[in-house]
Chain A
Amino acid sequence: MTVEELEQIAESVRLENAKYDHEIHVCMDLACASQGADKLRDELVKAAEAAGKNVLVRRTGCMGPCSSGPLVRVDPEETLYAHVKAKHAEAIVASLGSLPVPELQCDLSSHFDKQVRVVLENAGHIDPEKIDEYIACEGYKALMTALIEMTPAGVIHRITESRLRGRGGGGYPTGLKWSTVAKASGDQKYIVCNGDEGDPGAFMDRSVMEGDPHRVIEGMAIAAYGVGANKGFIYVRAEYPVAVARLTMAIREARRRGLLGSNIGGTTFNFDVEIRLGAGAFVCGEETALLASIEGRRGTPKPRPPYPAVSGLWGKPTLINNVETYANIAPIIRNGGKWFADMGSERSKGTKVFALTGKITNTGLVEVPMGIKLREIIEEIGGGVPDGHTFKAVQTGGPSGGCIPAEMLDVGVSYDALMAMGSIMGSGGMIVMDDTSCMVNVARFFIEFCMTESCGKCIPCRAGTAQMYTLLSKICDGTASMDDLELLEDLCSTVKEASLCGLGQTAPNPVLSTLKYFRNEYIEHIAHKRCPAGVCTMKPQEVLA
């Protein structure tokens, strides 16, 4: 594969697409597929044939506003249809070339206006199972540019210049991580993609892997060139069968096109990727646990240092980045580090994808520039809290994050700002809660999660989370005393300070942040045996003799 061949493929796809008068894009991501998008696509194809129209019906990845699904977009008019059922296929096809179908058309401009699409630029536009469509959207151009025009040091310099930080949640500067691996000695190095999206309530990485799998592979290949690796692993949750299938297919197609394998782009660079399945362990999102799992062992973390960048997979220097981090690489190489660094806030650059869910009108996937206010995401993009309820808190960072109350909504989203509020950026789950959610119960939910997901290696996490769960349960059923609350706070700091890995160190965050902002709810449960949200069932009080 050469640059010219890549351009030829892109050109042929463009010519092929130009043959059609209209393109109908059908979102086939999980949310839309579960509402019959499959059948809808078949009906659209049938209807187009029956009407004799010159139309291309294309399956795409997630378009974003999942709550309006199944979604259909007609190009070049860019008409978006919401809640489309198979029975609407004929009407949509009949409307082509004239006015759109009014009862299906939806206006989501307030949802899209403030979004900036970098990672999701192709989602909803290309067929994820066709490598040529990715190539037509400048796919693999960045890899070719890197291999032919840039040195490995130049690649790392550009990533450093972009000031991209790890999108898995930690926010470690990506360029710095890459240069550490590049400097590490050893002739065998590995690239690992962390696709173990264990945060319950987040599905950004699933959508990227399913909707634009080649973007991840291209990012990994560029990283491999930069740090001098020739072998990569994508670690994906087994709970994401479609992502596994799409990635498997993408790897096969990339090999067939000579974009993976030996002498890529006619250079001396060799790189290949293998998929490794997770098996349902949240702790495997921690990098040393993830490596243990790839090696076929129990996913228990190891103390760091040595960091995987120096001694990782089978003791070799290993670069581990999250799916979204790799998805940012190709655009940075194509457009330059400065282009990326111009987006976002002072210390957090670029964009971030969030999975907006919970009690919010427009649930789905959004990509916003860093620094945007939480209020803009929730009220404008998300459309606010539905059914006349009032907003209470937004939870970011999953079980490692915290709950942010209404009075903090005017803070701009960045790694540091979220940390200062007692939460974390996390991988991008954003769950909105209204007045029907009890914050003590929410804290108990997360601690129960951490308790069952604790690997058991270190005692503060294994025993501490279990004790915290017991205390929170007591508060929830109205049998706790103020001493229990004090004990709970004490345990939070012990677990936070003394745990071995990120799971334990961040497990108290949901408790600490709810204690900080919603302490009165805890007090209500303990002192007045009353749950303000009406969620918890109090145990009947013992009558004192």
Chain B
Amino acid sequence: MFRAMSPIQEGIVPAFTPPPLPSDDKRWKIVNGTMRKNGFARHALIETLHTVQSSFGYLDDDAIRFVARSLRVPLSQAYGVVTFYHYFSLKPPGKHTVTVCAGTACYIKGADALIAAAEKRLGIAQGQTTKDGNISLMTARCVGACSRAPVVLCDGEVAGEASVEQVLEQLERWTVE
């Protein structure tokens, strides 16, 4: 039985036009720049997601859809990558972020107590953000400052040999701001 062949089956690949930017937010241009630099190749998926996260702070549905369509990656695969890697976040971060390193050296030097104290003070579990969106409490899998364990990052700033008091003081400062 005769069936009409689609152009792709005949080996004629239609020229690919990337989808339009989701909005006129300038940050999408940065994202698009990363993809263009990589020739919209599929292997640029993780690179592009990194750019989205560093530009927007997290990855929302719109962003994942846009990147998946632009790179011609199935949405399921893009979502799979986002959820596979710890570094990517689907939720917006708080105004401030306190990250307690939970690497081995920090664990031996008592990082557990720091996490517990911060959880108690903020009333949230690790990985969550306070209801008012002010502070996120995160843990890291080793930031590589093991010689100064236990290590806490306050908005990215490394503080070594951290004590429970120091962490609580910092949280207090952010709360009263």
Known: A299-B84, A431-B104, A437-B108. A203 touches B140 (CB 8 A): no
Known: A295-B43, A296-B42, A298-B84. A34 touches B145 (CB 8 A): yes
Instruction: For residue A63, give the distance in angstroms from its CB to the closest CB of chain B.
Output: 12
Chain A residues near B146: list those with CB within 8 A.
201-203, 355, 357, 363, 429
- Tally of B interface residues using CB under 8 Å: 38
A and B contact pairs by CB, cutoff 8 A, 15 listed: A30-B145, A31-B160, A69-B148, A199-B142, A200-B104, A200-B141, A200-B142, A239-B142, A281-B84, A282-B141, A296-B81, A357-B149, A363-B105, A395-B104, A431-B108
Chain B residues near A395: list those with CB within 8 A.
104
The reply to whether B147 and A201 contact each other, CB–CB distance below 8 Å, is: no
Q: Which of B102-122 contact A (CB under 8 A)?
A: 102-105, 107-109
Is A293 among interface residues, defined by CB-CB distance under 8 A?
yes
Cα–Cα, bound, A296→B50 (Å): 11
Q: Which of A22-42 contact B (CB under 8 A)?
A: 30-31, 33-35
Chain A residues near B141: list those with CB within 8 A.
198, 200, 239, 280, 282, 449
4 closest Cβ pairs, A-B complex: A200-B103, A201-B104, A66-B147, A279-B85
Q: Mark B126-147, 1 if CB is under 8 A from A, else 0.
A: 0000000000000011111111
Chain B residues near A405: list those with CB within 8 A.
none
Q: Mark B13-47, 1 if CB is under 8 A from A, else 0.
A: 00000000000000000000000000000111111
Chain B residues near A398: list those with CB within 8 A.
104
Instruction: For residue B141, give the distance in angstroms from its CB to the closest CB of chain A.
Output: 5
The reply to whether A296 and B44 contact each other, CB–CB distance below 8 Å, is: yes
Please classify how large the interface on chain A is, using the bins under 10, 10 to 19, 20 to 34, 35 or more.
35 or more
The reply to whether B85 and A31 contact each other, CB–CB distance below 8 Å, is: no
Is A19 among interface residues, defined by CB-CB distance under 8 A?
no
Chain A residues near B145: list those with CB within 8 A.
30-31, 34, 203
From B47, B81, B103, contact of A276 by CB (8 A): B47
Instruction: For residue A282, give the distance in angstroms from its CB to the closest CB of chain B.
Output: 7
The reply to whether A445 and B85 contact each other, CB–CB distance below 8 Å, is: no
Chain A residues near B47: list those with CB within 8 A.
276-277, 296
From A202, A277, A356, A365, contact of B46 by CB (8 A): A277
Is B164 among interface residues, defined by CB-CB distance under 8 A?
no
Instruction: For residue B177, give the distance in angstroms from its CB to the closest CB of chain A.
Output: 23
Instruction: For residue A314, give the distance in angstroms from its CB to the closest CB of chain B.
Output: 8
Is B158 among interface residues, defined by CB-CB distance under 8 A?
yes
Q: Which of A260-297 contact B (CB under 8 A)?
A: 276-282, 293-297
| B45 to A, closest residue via Cβ | A296
Q: Mark B37-75, 1 if CB is under 8 A from A, else 0.
A: 000001111110110000000000000000000000100
Is A530 among interface residues, defined by CB-CB distance under 8 A?
no
The reply to whether B85 and A299 contact each other, CB–CB distance below 8 Å, is: yes
The reply to whether B147 and A355 contact each other, CB–CB distance below 8 Å, is: yes
B residues with a Cβ closer than 8 A to A are 42-47, 49-50, 73, 77, 80-81, 84-88, 102-105, 107-109, 140-149, 157-160
Extra pairs beyond A198-B142, A363-B105, A433-B108 (4, CB < 8 Å): A33-B158, A34-B158, A199-B142, A200-B102
Chain B residues near A363: list those with CB within 8 A.
105, 146-149
From B86, B142, B148, contact of A281 by CB (8 A): B86
Cα–Cα, bound, A455→B80 (Å): 12
Known: A298-B80, A357-B147. A30 touches B158 (CB 8 A): yes
Chain A residues near B49: list those with CB within 8 A.
279
The reply to whether B148 and A31 contact each other, CB–CB distance below 8 Å, is: yes
From A31, A198, A294, contact of B147 by CB (8 A): A31
Chain A residues near B148: list those with CB within 8 A.
31, 34-35, 66-67, 69, 363
Instruction: For residue A48, give the distance in angstroms from its CB to the closest CB of chain B.
Output: 27
Instruction: For residue B37, give the distance in angstroms from its CB to the closest CB of chain A.
Output: 11
Q: Mark A52-82, 1 if CB is under 8 A from B, else 0.
A: 0000000000000011010000000000000
Chain B residues near A239: list those with CB within 8 A.
87, 140-144
Chain A residues near B108: list those with CB within 8 A.
357-359, 431, 433, 437, 442
From B46, B87, B104, contact of A445 by CB (8 A): B104
From B46, B77, B158, contact of A279 by CB (8 A): B46
Chain B residues near A279: list those with CB within 8 A.
46, 49-50, 85-88
Cα–Cα, bound, A255→B158 (Å): 33
Chain B residues near A69: list those with CB within 8 A.
148
Cα–Cα, bound, A25→B141 (Å): 31
Known: A294-B43, A298-B84. A429 touches B104 (CB 8 A): yes
Is A240 among interface residues, defined by CB-CB distance under 8 A?
yes
Cα–Cα, bound, A445→B102 (Å): 10
| A297 to B, closest residue via Cβ | B81
Instruction: For residue B144, give the distance in angstroms from its CB to the closest CB of chain A.
Output: 4
Chain B residues near A367: list those with CB within 8 A.
none
Is A301 among interface residues, defined by CB-CB distance under 8 A?
no
